[in-house]
Amino acid sequence: MSGDGNTHTYGTLVGSAMTDNGGGPGSRCSCKVGAAAGAYGLAGVHERLEERWHGDESVRDLAAWFNRELLRAALERTGTVPIDGEVDNLYRVLTDDGVDVGSRRRARQRLRDDGVTVEEVEDRFVSHQTLYRHLVNCLGATHEPDREGTEERVETWRDRIRSLRNRTVRVTERGVDQLSAADAVHVGSADVLVDISVLCEDCGEFSGIETFLDERGCACEQPSSPDE
């Protein structure tokens, strides 16, 4: 990226604009998220956060998304037009623990050359805990795990358990075959069966895993908030 002659002028403007926390587009509350959104003029960011959350994005991913929006805004304010994927990559280099010190130093220097006050942007980055509090306390958002997500989870586990059972059958068959061929065991035409069942010690219901999944458990009362 080129640092052209305008860099310093823009840099100064950015510095003064960023001390102003309130009033501008994006300001809505005074928590760290609201203050950062206000300072960088991220209009509509709160609505988008809420939408994405309801779209089942994790709060951790949302915080990273928000921080990348901050970084993008900081770059754009200096007149830099980030190329595709550049902000994502910069953010990763700045924050990922696996990145080596040299790469991080170069990325920060590059941002400085572009007129970005790196420390200021980094100070604005929010944790997923902070973002969660903003969603719940400031925006009053609530998150119900949706029906579709539950369905998907059950089917994912159904597939895993099925393939585990099939593997157990195959391995056991091989064992029986080899032992039989070595005359270590004597058996006619053998079939291996693996039944996986769940017994609830509270209500005593005993069901095959397929039934258990189909009926979403046993006769016990469903807890008010299923934990994960």
Size of the site for Zn ion (CB under 5 A): 11
Nearer to Zn ion, 34 or 115 (CB): 34
Query: Rule CB under 5 A: which of 140-169 touch Zn ion?
Result: none
Q: Does 191 sit near Zn ion (CB under 5 A)?
A: no
DSSP letter for each residue of 83-100 = PTTHHHHHHHHHH-TTS-
Nearer to Zn ion, 21 or 117 (CB): 21
Nearer to Zn ion, 13 or 31 (CB): 31
Q: Does 134 sit near Zn ion (CB under 5 A)?
A: yes
Longest dimension (CA), the chain: 89
When binding is defined by CB under 5 A, the residue of 200, 207, 209, 213 that contacts Zn ion is: 200
Closest approach of Zn ion to the CB of residue 125, in Å = 15
The piece of 59-67, 145-153, 164-172, 193-201 that touches Zn ion (CB under 5 A) is 193-201
Closest approach of Zn ion to the CB of residue 202, in Å = 4
Collect contacts of 23-30 with beta carbons under 8 A, ≥24 apart: 28/138, 28/139, 29/134, 29/138, 29/139
Burial tier of 26 (Cβ tally within 10 Å: 0-12, 13-18, 19+): buried
Report CA torsion sign: 160, 165, 171, 174: negative
- Phi, psi angle pair for 208, to nearest 5°: -60, 150
- Phi, psi angle pair for 204, to nearest 5°: 80, 0
Compute the distance between CA of residue 156 and CA of residue 138 in angstroms, rounded to an integer: 35
Q: What stretch of H or E contains 198?
A: strand 197-199
The residues, ordered by sequence, that sit 6+ positions from 80 with a Cβ below 8 Å of its Cβ are 1, 114, 115, 116
Are the beta carbons of 86 and 92 closer than 8 angstroms? no
Q: Does 179 sit near Zn ion (CB under 5 A)?
A: no
When binding is defined by CB under 5 A, the residue of 99, 164, 199, 220 that contacts Zn ion is: 220
Task: Fill in the per-residue mask, 30 to 59: x = in contact with Zn ion (CB under 5 A), - = not in contact.
Answer: -x-xx-------------------------
Closest approach of Zn ion to the CB of residue 106, in Å = 34
Q: Does 29 sit near Zn ion (CB under 5 A)?
A: yes
Are the beta carbons of 75 and 108 closer than 8 angstroms? no
Nearer to Zn ion, 26 or 34 (CB): 34
The piece of 59-67, 68-76, 175-183, 217-225 that touches Zn ion (CB under 5 A) is 217-225
Closest approach of Zn ion to the CB of residue 227, in Å = 16
Residues in touch with Zn ion (CB under 5 A): 29, 31, 33-34, 134, 138, 200, 202-203, 218, 220
